[in-house]
């Protein structure tokens, strides 16, 4: 099962990816988490990505396409994977199609911009695993501490209001075109990926149940 999660910053892609990953025992591939890990390591990729990410822009298609191609070739992806935050541009989607990477399902999670700005200020993340929490909607058992490892949670550098607005603008300019791209493909039927859209303003568990039901259908 290969799944694409599509949606604006803060829609809940990472949150829902973790549920799908457990249910189907397939890895979550978050390009955002991979880039943040590269920044932490101080690698060449991290150096190139840091300023772009903090300005709410997109890292170059070539860099990202190579990163994802290498990642999905790994053995743990043999039974599929969840692409969280990739593709994000038409050239990235085209590269996936050209590489004959078959996608079963595209899941769009939709949330209005103003709701996202409010929501992201309450996000906390465990940097090692990418696990996400929310101070009100999905709090950790102990404030500021990851449930699994007991390590400290952080706020992402790009979760300041001005950067969130820039990320939203980037989404509308460069990524939202993928909605049309994949809806048109789905309409062709046959081997084309199925397309389903979910209202991401519902409670986390309701979104989860609806997505898992759609994936079984």
* Candidate list 12, 82, 106, 126; residue touching ligand AP5; CB under 6 A: 12
Look at residue 208 and give the partner it binds from Zn ion, ligand AP5, none, a contact being a CB closer than 5 to 8 Å depending on partner kind: none
Alpha-carbon gap, residue 57 to 182, rounded angstroms: 22
Q: Cβ neighbours of residue 74 under 8 Å, at least 6 residues apart?
A: none
Question: Which residue, 5, 7, 8, is CA-closest to 169?
Answer: 8
Each residue 24-43 as x (binds ligand AP5 by CB under 6 A) or -, in order, gives ------xxx--x--------
Structure tokens at 61: 């298609």
Residue facing ligand AP5 at closest CB distance: 32
Active site residue 124: no
Alpha-carbon gap, residue 203 to 206, rounded angstroms: 5
Q: Which of residues 103-142 bind ligand AP5 (CB under 6 A)?
A: 119-120, 122-123, 132-134, 137-138
Q: Which is nearer to ligand AP5, 91 or 193 (CB)?
A: 91
Alpha helices per DSSP H over 55-160: 61-72, 90-98, 113-120
Look at residue 21 and give the partner it binds from Zn ion, ligand AP5, none, a contact being a CB closer than 5 to 8 Å depending on partner kind: none
Q: Is the Cβ–Cβ distance between 116 and 170 less than 8 Å? A: no
When asked if residue 10 is in the footprint of Zn ion (CB under 5 A), the reply is no
Alpha-carbon gap, residue 139 to 88, rounded angstroms: 29
Residues that bind ligand AP5 (CB under 6 A): 7, 9-15, 30-32, 35, 52-53, 56-59, 64, 85-86, 88, 92, 119-120, 122-123, 132-134, 137-138, 167, 200, 202-204, 207
């Amino acid at each position: 099962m290969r799944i694409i999660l599509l949606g604006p910053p803060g829609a809940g892609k990472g949150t829902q990816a973790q549920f799908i990953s457990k249910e189907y025992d397939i890895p979550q591939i978050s390009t955002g988490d991979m880039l943040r890990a590269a920044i932490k390591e101080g690698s060449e990729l991290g150096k190139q990505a840091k300023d772009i990410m903090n300005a709410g822009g997109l890292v170059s298609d070539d860099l990202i396409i190579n990163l994802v191609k290498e990642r999905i070739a790994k053995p743990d992806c043999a039974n599929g994977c969840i692409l969280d935050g990739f593709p994000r541009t038409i050239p990235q989607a085209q590269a996936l199609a050209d590489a004959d990477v078959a996608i079963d399902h595209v899941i769009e999670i939709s949330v209005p911009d103003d709701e996202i700005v409010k929501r992201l200020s309450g996000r906390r993340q465990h940097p090692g695993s990418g696990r996400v929490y929310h101070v009100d909607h999905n709090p950790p058992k102990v404030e500021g501490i990851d449930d699994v490892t007991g390590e400290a949670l952080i706020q992402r550098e790009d979760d300041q209001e001005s950067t969130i607005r820039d990320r939203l603008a980037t989404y509308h300019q460069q990524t939202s075109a993928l909605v049309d791209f994949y809806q048109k493909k789905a309409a062709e039927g046959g081997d084309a990926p199925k397309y389903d859209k979910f209202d991401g303003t519902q409670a986390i568990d309701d979104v989860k149940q609806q997505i898992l039901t759609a994936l079984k259908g």
